[in-house]
Structure 1
Amino acid sequence: MDLKEIKDLMTAMRKTGIQKLIIKKKEGDELQLETQVSSNISSVGFPSTEQNKEQTFFHSPPIHSSENHSPLVKEEKPGQHITAPLVGTIYHSASPDDEPFVKVGDMVKEDTVLCIIEAMKVMNEVKAGRSGKIAEILVENGHPVEFGTKMFRIV
């Protein structure tokens, strides 16, 4: 795969909102492209002309050595995650002028609407599916989500 093909893939990712793309070849080669939104990027990438814009980075698979190093383990916070049931754009309120459906600290029931995911111009309500307290909102309003994206943490 040449540099032009990689740049074309990165452009397509930005346009479509794809956050991560992994290409594996039969020969064992692997290419991972991932987009991230950040204002302070200290990684090698293709810099954008404006700050706080989406940028695409190259990631190589982690190298595991046989030395006595413990692998990096990301600690999960207690509670259960509400994940995106479909691909689309998340909205935390019914309209831009309305209050969000829920805030951190709110108690919710199984049928409480947490957000709306817009997919193909259709607004889909996402309900909690369990009772508890909103401990964390993991995706910002107006951002794209993929199937399985962790959106809320409930304890």
Structure 2
Amino acid sequence: MENSRNSPGVVLVDHLRARGFTVQEGHKPGNYVVTAYRDSALALRPRLSLPTDLLTEYLDAMNRTPGATPSEMDALSLVEVHLEEELTTAGADGRNHATAIGVRRGSHGRVEWFARHADPEVLQRHDALPEDLEWRADPV
């Protein structure tokens, strides 16, 4: 669990919960799993990576961007929008393909926003197996 109820990660999770997402705490502080949106389970259960130190650094960097409004709440509001879009945008098959979203330390040492998605061409999920499947021990 985050150290403070006012940490940016907790604020983001509270925002998602208010918008209808079911968010569970992960194994490490700042890590979460999104399990449902409204009454629909999310098959891919996207992971959120929102560690306080990295998220705070990312928000500070956003506020230093030329033209940005000098207020953490403005940067946080923008991240809320991006996070919600990543979790609600559906692919051509009508499903959301997000698997991981958040902030991380990039290869050049700077904190960056990331979003990973399953390949919808490869992804095939079935609520129940098709009934016409047949197991055969010998090739036909």
TM-score (norm 1): 0.21
Q: Which has the higher helix share?
A: 2
Q: Which has the higher strand share?
A: 1
